[in-house]
Structure 1
Amino acid sequence: LLWSTYAPQLYFGIKPRLPKSLTSGLLWFGLNDWEGLQRIHHTTSSSPPHESGLESYTYTSHIPRVGNTQRLLDSRNKLRVDTSFVNLNDGKDWGARVEMNGEEDTRMSGIWYISLEGEGGLRLVEQEDEEEGLTSPIVLLGNTPDLGSFRIVLTEHADANPITTGHKANLFSPSHGKVSYAGASVPESDLWRAKDIVATLLSNKAQSLANQFSTSTPANSQDLPDPAFVLGRSLGNQREAFQSNFWAFQFSSQGKGGWDVSMVLILPSPVLSFRPLSAPAISNSLSTLLSLFSTHFSSHLPIPPTSPYSSPSHLAFAQEVTSNLLGGIGYFHGRSLIDRSFAHEYDDTPELEEGEVGGVQEMEERGLLTATPSRSFFPRGFYWDEGFHLLVVGEWDNDLSLEILKSWVDLIDEDGWVGREQILGEEARSKVPSEFQVQYPTNANPPTLTMAVTSFISRLKAVESSNLLSAQLGLPPSFPANSKYLSSPTEARSYLLSIYPALRRHYLWFRRTQKGQLKEWGRKPPSRMESYRWRGRTEHHVLTSGLDDYPRALPPHVGELHVDLMCWMGFFARTMGEIAEYLGEEVEDDLEEYRRNEGNVVKNIEALHWSEEDQMYCDATVDDDDESTFVCHAGYISLFPFLTGLLPPSSPHLGPVLDLMRDPEKLWSDYGIRSLSKDHPLFGQGENYWRGPIWMPFNYMALSSLYKIYMPHPGPHQARAKEIYTELRANLIENIFKEYQSTGYVWEQYDALTGEGSRSHPFTGWTSLVAMSE
Structure 2
Amino acid sequence: MAQIRQLSLAFAFCWLNALLFAAWNFFITPAAAAAADDHAESVLHSEIARQNNQSLLWGPYRPNLYFGVRPRIPKGLMTGLMWGKIEGYADFQHNIRYTCEQNEGMKGYGWDEYDPRRGGVQSIHDTGNGIDITTSFVKVPGGAHGGNWAVRIKGTLHEDSPRDQKTIVVWYTTQEGEDSVLEAESSDEEFGYDGDVTLKGQSPALGSYKLVVTQGKGVTPKSDHDLSTIRGPGQTVVQSLTYPEEYLWQGKGILFRQMKEGVDWLVQNKYDVQDPPPPWQVYLLANKPGKGNVQIVQKVFEGDFEFDVLFSSESAGVEITSEDLTREVQAATESFEERFKSVFAPKEPFDADKYTKFGHSLFSNLIGGIGYFYGHSVVDRSYAPEYEEDNEGFWEDAAAARARNLQALEGPYELFTSIPSRPFFPRGFLWDEGFHLLPIADWDSDLALEIVHSWYNLMDDDGWIAREQILGAEARSKVPAEFQTQYPHYANPPTLFFIIDDFLDKLFKTNNGTRSASASAAAADIHESLATASLDNSEVGLEHLRRLYPLLERQFQWFRRTQAGDIKSYDREAFSSREAYRWRGRTPTHCLTSGLDDYPRPSPPHPGELHVDLLSWVGVMARTLSRVAGALGLEEEQETYRGILAAIERNLDDLHWSEEQGVYCDATVDAFEEHQLVCHKGYLSLFPFLTGLLPPDSPRLGPLLKFLGDEEEIWSNHGLRSLSKKDEFYGTAENYWRSPVWININYLAIVQLYNLALQDGPHKSTARNLYTRLRRNVVDTVYKSWEETGFAWEQYDPETGKGQRTQHFTGWTSLVVKIMAMEDLAPPPAGESVRDEL
Q: TM (normalized to structure 2)?
A: 0.85
Q: SS at the partner of 2:205?
A: coil
Q: How does 1:206-605 map to 2 (within 5 A)?
A: 206-215=263-272, 221=273, 223-231=275-283, 233=284, 235-238=285-288, 242-267=290-315, 277-304=320-347, 307-340=348-381, 341-342=383-384, 343-344=386-387, 346-347=389-390, 359-466=406-513, 481=529, 482-584=531-633, 587-605=634-652
> For residues 268 and 723 of structure 1, do their structure 2 counterparts lie closer, same or farther at Cα, with a shift above 3 Å needed?
closer
Q: CA deviation at 1:552?
A: 0.4
Distance 2:231 2:645 in 1: 76
1-10 or 712-721, larger mean C-alpha shift = 712-721
Q: Could you tell me which amino acid in structure 1 is paired with residue 506 of structure 2?
A: R
Q: SS at the partner of 1:65?
A: coil
Q: CA deviation at 1:127?
A: 2.5
Aligned to 1:354: none
> For residues 170 and 529 of structure 1, do their structure 2 counterparts lie closer, same or farther at Cα, with a shift above 3 Å needed?
closer
Distance 2:630 2:364 in 1: 34
1:202 pairs with one of 259, 267, 271: 259
Q: CA deviation at 1:173?
A: 10
1:93 pairs with one of 148, 154, 159: 148
Alignment deviations for residues 658-712 of structure 1 (CA, whole Å, 9 cap, x no partner):
111111111000000000011211111101110011101100000111112x112
8 Å CA contact retained: 2:750, 2:771: yes
Q: SS at the partner of 1:559?
A: coil
Distance 1:171 1:380 in 2: 45
Q: Could you tell me which amino acid in structure 2 is paired with residue 163 of structure 1?
A: P
5+ residue gaps, structure 2: 1-55, 399-403, 821-838
Q: CA deviation at 1:168?
A: 3.3
Alignment deviations for residues 542-567 of structure 1 (CA, whole Å, 9 cap, x no partner):
11100010000111100000000011
8 Å CA contact retained: 2:111, 2:120: yes
Q: CA deviation at 1:277?
A: 3.4
Q: Could you tell me which amino acid in structure 2 is paired with residue 132 of structure 1?
A: F
Distance 2:663 2:321 in 1: 65
Aligned to 2:785: 739
Distance 2:390 2:342 in 1: 49
Distance 1:347 1:696 in 2: 35
8 Å CA contact retained: 2:227, 2:277: no
8 Å CA contact retained: 1:210, 1:230: no
Alignment deviations for residues 456-500 of structure 1 (CA, whole Å, 9 cap, x no partner):
111112212335999xxxx99x99744110110110111110111
2:705 corresponds to 1:662: no
8 Å CA contact retained: 1:56, 1:72: yes
133-142 or 327-336, larger mean C-alpha shift = 133-142
Distance 2:243 2:687 in 1: 52
Alignment deviations for residues 182-214 of structure 1 (CA, whole Å, 9 cap, x no partner):
111111000010110011112221343355554
Alignment deviations for residues 63-122 of structure 1 (CA, whole Å, 9 cap, x no partner):
001012110111122101001211113442111111111141321011001101123010
Distance 2:415 2:516 in 1: 40
Alignment deviations for residues 357-406 of structure 1 (CA, whole Å, 9 cap, x no partner):
99212212110000011111011000000000010110111110000000
Q: SS at the partner of 1:303?
A: coil
Aligned to 1:161: 219
Aligned to 1:615: 662
Q: Could you tell me which amino acid in structure 2 is paired with residue 618 of structure 1?
A: C
8 Å CA contact retained: 2:376, 2:411: yes
Q: How does 1:99-114 map to 2 (within 5 A)?
A: 99-102=154-157, 103=161, 104-114=163-173
Distance 2:602 2:279 in 1: 61
By percentage of residues, which structure has more helix? Answer: 2
Percent identical across equivalent pairs? Answer: 41
2:230 corresponds to 1:141: no
Q: Could you tell me which amino acid in structure 2 is paired with residue 122 of structure 1?
A: L
5+ residue gaps, structure 1: 216-220, 352-356
Aligned to 1:9: 64
2:228 corresponds to 1:185: no
Alignment deviations for residues 405-462 of structure 1 (CA, whole Å, 9 cap, x no partner):
0000111111111100011111111111111111111110001000111111111122
Q: SS at the partner of 1:403?
A: helix
Q: CA deviation at 1:645?
A: 1.1
Aligned to 2:25: none
Q: SS at the partner of 2:282?
A: helix
8 Å CA contact retained: 2:149, 2:320: no
Aligned to 1:695: 742
> For residues 657 and 206 of structure 1, do their structure 2 counterparts lie closer, same or farther at Cα, with a shift above 3 Å needed?
same
8 Å CA contact retained: 1:169, 1:226: no
Alignment deviations for residues 502-529 of structure 1 (CA, whole Å, 9 cap, x no partner):
1110011111111110010010201112
Aligned to 2:136: 84
8 Å CA contact retained: 2:511, 2:536: no
Distance 1:284 1:18 in 2: 28
Aligned to 1:18: 73
Q: CA deviation at 1:222?
A: 5.0
Q: Could you tell me which amino acid in structure 2 is paired with residue 563 of structure 1?
A: V
> For residues 414 and 707 of structure 1, do their structure 2 counterparts lie closer, same or farther at Cα, with a shift above 3 Å needed?
same
Aligned to 2:100: 44
8 Å CA contact retained: 1:677, 1:692: yes
8 Å CA contact retained: 2:218, 2:306: yes
8 Å CA contact retained: 1:83, 1:98: yes
Q: CA deviation at 1:613?
A: 1.6
Distance 2:771 2:128 in 1: 43
8 Å CA contact retained: 2:147, 2:316: no
Aligned to 2:724: 677
2:766 corresponds to 1:720: yes
Aligned to 1:761: 807
Aligned to 2:653: 606
Q: CA deviation at 1:607?
A: 0.5
Q: CA deviation at 1:169?
A: 8.5
Q: Could you tell me which amino acid in structure 2 is paired with residue 195 of structure 1?
A: K
8 Å CA contact retained: 1:635, 1:677: yes
Distance 2:798 2:775 in 1: 16
8 Å CA contact retained: 1:214, 1:224: yes
Aligned to 1:218: none
Q: TM (normalized to structure 1)?
A: 0.92
Distance 2:227 2:203 in 1: 43
Distance 2:320 2:665 in 1: 63
2:183 corresponds to 1:123: yes
Q: Could you tell me which amino acid in structure 2 is paired with residue 138 of structure 1?
A: V
RMSD: 2.3
Distance 1:468 1:110 in 2: 48
Q: Could you tell me which amino acid in structure 1 is paired with residue 175 of structure 2?
A: L
8 Å CA contact retained: 2:111, 2:365: yes
Q: CA deviation at 1:170?
A: 8.8
Distance 2:334 2:424 in 1: 32
Alignment deviations for residues 613-635 of structure 1 (CA, whole Å, 9 cap, x no partner):
22211000011111110010010
2:687 corresponds to 1:640: yes
Q: Could you tell me which amino acid in structure 2 is paired with residue 331 of structure 1?
A: Y
Distance 2:484 2:368 in 1: 25
8 Å CA contact retained: 1:37, 1:199: no
Distance 1:175 1:136 in 2: 14
> For residues 345 and 33 of structure 1, do their structure 2 counterparts lie closer, same or farther at Cα, with a shift above 3 Å needed?
farther
Q: CA deviation at 1:31?
A: 1.1
8 Å CA contact retained: 1:213, 1:224: no
8 Å CA contact retained: 1:346, 1:537: no
Q: CA deviation at 1:281?
A: 1.0
Distance 1:222 1:567 in 2: 74
